[in-house]
Amino acid sequence: MSDHQINPNKWIDLYSDYLFNYTITRVNDREIAKDLIQDTFFAGLKSMKNFKGEASERTWLISILKRKIIDYYRKINSKKGKAEVRMTYNSDDQEGDWLEERVEDEAYLNAEETMENSELGDAIYNCMGKLSEKQATVFKMKTILGYETETICNELDITASNLWVILHRARIQMAECLEKKWL
């Protein structure tokens, strides 16, 4: 019998934020990241029969997502090759080597920082996975999305004092979870 079961009905709740964060640190565009995770879920549905249960659902979905991200870069790189031929300076008074100047990408210069951030992002999502559903939702809305207290209270139908109690417990657990490596 396989160690892990597959249940697509829970994919959005359990993995969409994790996959979104994983993708956005790699493609740096919100719309593209959303498209890629949607494609990943669709591809997962199509190839559900190939899931052997040796790895967790999340690991399996990440392996599909990685291929989607690689395909995305392949696609834009082939487009870039065509676009470069047409690239010129915007005005006549500009001089220099346009190819070298335009090819320079800040993302490559900060590769190490990006890698560390993506590791930290993974650690944060792993720790959030250990919180109760309500704690994770409140923590996410307040700390990551930066929503106002009132908005969260209305959204989740809780009082402000209730929110602060949930948040306090969530913060203690998050700090303990992240403490060894990241705090």
Partner 1 sequence: MKETSMKKNFLFISCEEAFHICDKSQYGESTLWEKIKLNLRYIWCRFTKAYVKKNNQLTNTMKTSNVQCLHKTEREELTKNFNKELKN
Q: Where on the chain is the footprint of partner 1 (CB under 8 A)?
A: 8-9, 11-12, 16-17, 20-21, 24-25, 34, 37-38, 41-42, 45, 117, 120-121, 124-125, 140, 142-145, 149, 155, 164, 167-168, 171, 174-175, 178-179, 182-183
* Least distance between partner 1 and beta carbon 2 (Å): 22
* Least distance between partner 1 and beta carbon 143 (Å): 6
Do residues 28 and 107 make contact, with C-beta atoms less than 8 angstroms apart? yes
Judged by beta carbon, residue 56 or residue 114, the one nearer partner 1 is 114
**Cα distance between residue 167 and residue 155, in whole Å:** 15
* Least distance between partner 1 and beta carbon 76 (Å): 21
Judged by beta carbon, residue 84 or residue 150, the one nearer partner 1 is 150
Judged by beta carbon, residue 79 or residue 168, the one nearer partner 1 is 168
Angle at 71 between CA 118 and CA 16, to 5 degrees: 45
Judged by beta carbon, residue 65 or residue 124, the one nearer partner 1 is 124
Burial string for 141-160 (b: 16+ CB within 10 Å, else e) reads bbeeeebeeeebbeeeeeee
* Least distance between partner 1 and beta carbon 168 (Å): 5
Helices 11-27, 111-128: inter-axial angle, 10-degree rounding = 170
**Cα distance between residue 176 and residue 64, in whole Å:** 32
